[in-house]
Copies of this chain bind each other. A is one copy, B any other.
Amino acid sequence: MSDSKKTSYFSSGFTLGILGGGQLGKMLLYETRKWDIATKVMDPSKDAPCRLACNEFVQGNLMDFDTVYHFGKNVDVLTIEIENVNIDALEALEKEGVEVYPTPRELRLIQNKITQKLFYVDHGIPTAPFSRFAYTSEIDDSLDHGGIQLPFVWKSAQFGYDGQGVKIVRNRSDLRDLPNVECLTETLIPFKTELAVIVARSRNGSVVHYPVVEMEFHPEANQVEYVLCPARISDKVAKKAIETALRVSEALEHVGLLAVEMFQTREDEVLVNEVAPRPHNSGHYSIEASFTNQFEQHLRCILGLPLGNTDSKVAGVMVNLVGAEGHEGEVYYENIEKILSLRGVTPHIYGKSVTRPFRKMGHVTIVNEDMEEARKIAGEVKRTINVISKMKV
């Protein structure tokens, strides 16, 4: 790419394509607007959060070869905000000179959780022991013969977005509810906490990483409830988590962000759980807390710009806003005014008109000079705001 083309990110004649128009894309669009970078977004839903703020919005099936191919032909750089896209089309586009980041090779490896697991094993990256199955129905046999033991974590090989496709299996009857698909089972690791490190790697090869964050999960919904940055862990464990994340990054040679999710075991070992090749829920705190937020950083990576400083200005805690149980219908953010009166509280509303139990509807960031205070306020936020529907009887 010539220099004159490179600088045109900031003027006319350059278009960034984004596959997926959900909340991650929406937050990426704040940054493209900030830098006046022209964007074209495709999403299957005409009401996708990205329908505004892009220069062109296209409704289309992200898994369809022709749709993705034709969309990508008219952009200069193509990125994604969701992994489940037609990778064959991305490969064809890449061959024809479109810059696709993350690369199709990287996406193919990550999209299938079995391939991802084998990649960790091949590169000596610590991860929980696992077994692979062509169909969920084959697991019974393996239990019969002692190949695996209850309880375990079941993961579908494909389409594991947003807590779907992952299930803790405690007894055989839990297996009955699962789809009969290619899958893996993973030893249930008793862990102290979950950690994540976002690594940013530019297309020119330079690498920076964000601080280690700590994730607290909702015990039932298997969704993150709080993300804390920095994680409240020892320097030794933090160092280990960062080294592990950088090893994954180096082995993968990704371009763009890579969110590396890890378990901190009871023995203070660090095991890689899974990775996401894009801006990630565990990095949302960075909008308010970091010198360079993850969305701007992703742009810097895929456009080959110098990477930004990943330090935090203040401590940050993020609370996911998910639909309350028992509520389905037009969304209502009960008590949102109340949380706005708390110090350092910023709600982000994704703009989905309908709420469903555990659906990600937004998030709230709490920043403070002091982490303990931020976490305390985050608890208050969590107890105060409710994502409900008034249509409930």
**A residues apposed to B, CB below 8 Å:** 6-7, 10-12, 26, 29-30, 33-36, 49, 52-55, 291-292, 296, 300, 305-306, 308-309, 313-314, 330-334, 336-337, 340-341, 343-344, 346-351, 353, 367
Contact = CB atoms under 8 A, between A and B. Distances in A.
A33 B7 contact: no
Given A36-B349, A291-B343, 7 more contacts: A7-B333, A10-B336, A29-B33, A33-B351, A305-B340, A306-B337, A313-B367
A344 B10 contact: no
Contacts of A337: 6-7, 305-306
A29 B53 CA distance: 9
A346 B55 CA distance: 22
A35 B349 contact: yes
Given A10-B333, A306-B337, A52 B35 contact: no
B353 A12 contact: yes
Contacts of A33: 26, 29-30, 52-53, 351
A350 B6 contact: no
A33 B31 CA distance: 12
Given A291-B343, A306-B341, A7 B332 contact: yes
Contacts of A11: 330-333, 353
Nearest to A345: B308
Contacts of A348: 34-35
Given A333-B10, A333-B11, A344 B309 contact: yes
A55 B51 CA distance: 9
B347 A35 contact: yes
A351 B36 contact: yes
Contacts of A332: 7, 11
Nearest to A368: B291
The 7 closest A-B pairs by CB, nearest first: A306-B341, A36-B351, A53-B53, A36-B349, A313-B313, A10-B333, A306-B340
B343 A309 contact: yes
A297 B348 CA distance: 15
A291, A333, A353, A367 — which one has the most chain B CB atoms within 10 A of its CB?
A291
27 contacts: A6-B337, A7-B333, A7-B334, A7-B336, A7-B337, A10-B333, A10-B336, A11-B353, A12-B353, A29-B33, A30-B34, A33-B53, A34-B349, A35-B347, A36-B49, A36-B351, A52-B52, A52-B53, A52-B54, A52-B55, A291-B344, A291-B367, A292-B346, A300-B340, A305-B337, A313-B314, A313-B367
A12 B330 CA distance: 9
Contacts of A353: 11-12
A33 B26 CA distance: 8
B309 A350 contact: no
A204 to B, nearest CB: 11
Contacts of A344: 291, 309
Nearest to A52: B53
A172 B36 CA distance: 44
Nearest to A34: B348
A54 B292 CA distance: 25
Contacts of A26: 33
A133 B36 CA distance: 43
Contacts of A49: 36
A293 to B, nearest CB: 10
A384 to B, nearest CB: 12
